[in-house]
Amino acid sequence: MALPGQSRTPAPSSVRAELVEAFSRAPSVDSAELVEAAAPLVRGDRPTGIESMDWAALRQAVVDCRACKLCERRRQTVFGVGNERAHWMVVGEAPGEQEDIQGEPFVGKSGQLLDNMLRALGLGRHDAAGDPARQVYIANTLKCRPPGNRNPEPDELAQCEPFLVRQIELVQPKILLAMGRFAVQSLLRSSEPVGRLRGRVHRYHGVPLIVTYHPAYLLRNPEDKARAWDDLCLAAETAGV
Ligand code: URA
C-alpha cells in the first residue's frame, strides 16, 4: 500500500526540526491545522530506504536504530508481533518494562487486558499460519521504552514514525485500532481527546481506523471498559467480522 504524496527524498534537518515543532504544538493547535502542517513533513522525513524495506530489513533497521536518545537505555527494541497479513492491526504507545525485557509489545498487565478483549472477539496474535481475518498484528508508536514509562517526546515520535508507517504498509490491515492518545496523535494527527474521537470510523490512508482507550487507561478507569467494548464491536462491524 503506497501512501499518497509520499516523498522518496530524505528531508533536510530544518524539516525535521519543523516536524518536531509541529508535534510539540499538538496539544494547543487545531487538529486540522496540525494535519496540514505536519503530514507532508512526516512523509518527507523518512530516513532513506525505510519506505521500500521488506520485513527482515525493517526489523533489522529497528534493532540498529540509534536515531533518538531512547536507544541508550533500552534493553532491546520492541518491533511488533502477529500475523504479517493480519486483517486487524492494533497500534499502542510504547514498550513498558515487561516489553523491554521480553521484546514483544503488550505483554504486561495492559497486554493481558488487550488479549482478553481481543479473545472475546475471537482474535489472537500468535497464530502466524491462522486465518488472517482472525489475526491481529500489534505494534507501537515507539519501538523503545521511555525511561520510567514517561510519555513519548515529540522528537522520539517523529524519529520512530517511519517504522510504524512501513509496518502498516506491509501488513495492509483491513482495520486499524488506535489505542490511546499517542497512537491517535501519530495516525490521525489529532490532539482531540480519545473520548471525543471514539465511536466513529476514521481513515488512515483509506484504511478504516477506530479510536479507543489505551488498556492502561482502562486498568485505571474500569468504568470505561464498556465503551472500549463498544469500540471493538464497531471495529468488528467495520471490518465485516
Ligand atoms: N503499552 C503500550 O502502549 N504498548 C506496549 O507494548 C505496552 C504497554
Residue 95 forms part of a structural domain: yes
**What CATH number should be reported for the domain holding residue 127?**
3.40.470.10
Centre of ligand 1 from the C-alpha of residue 200, in Å: 23
Domain-located, residue 4: no
Any domain includes 152: yes
For residues 20 and 155, the answer to whether their CB atoms sit within 8 Å is yes
Rounded to two decimals, the pTM is 0.82
The tens digit of pLDDT for each residue in 29-42 reads 344 444 444 443 34
Q: Is the pLDDT of residue 129 over 60?
A: yes
Residue 68 lies in a domain: yes
By the 8 A CB rule, do 231 and 199 touch?
yes
State the closest ligand 1 atom to the C-alpha of 93, by its place in the atom list counted from 1: 3
| Ligand 1 centroid to residue 8 C-alpha, Å | 30
214 CA → ligand 1 middle, Å: 9
Helix/strand number for the chain, H first, E second: 10, 6
Find cell 497486554 and name the residue. Answer: 111
Range of the domain at 118: 12-239
The closest of 220, 235, 77, 50 to 156, measured between CA atoms, is 77
Number of domains making up the chain: 1
Lowest model confidence (mean pLDDT) among 39-43, 80-84, 216-220:
39-43
Between residues 5 and 37, which one has the greater pLDDT? 37
In angstroms and rounded to an integer, the radius of gyration of the C-alpha atoms of the chain is: 17
In angstroms, what is the span from residue 103 Cα to ligand 1's centroid? 11
Atom of ligand 1 nearest to the CA of 92: 3
- Determine the Cα–Cα distance for residues 237 and 46; give it in Å rounded to an integer: 34
Q: What percent of the chain clears pLDDT 70, i.e. is strictly above it?
A: 80
Pocket around ligand 1: residues whose beta carbon is below 6 Å from it?
92-96, 99, 105-106, 108, 110-111, 140, 216
105 Cα–ligand 1 center, Å: 6
Atom number in ligand 1 closest to CA 180: 3
DSSP state of 124: B
For helices 55-64 and 154-171, what crossing angle results, to 10°? 160
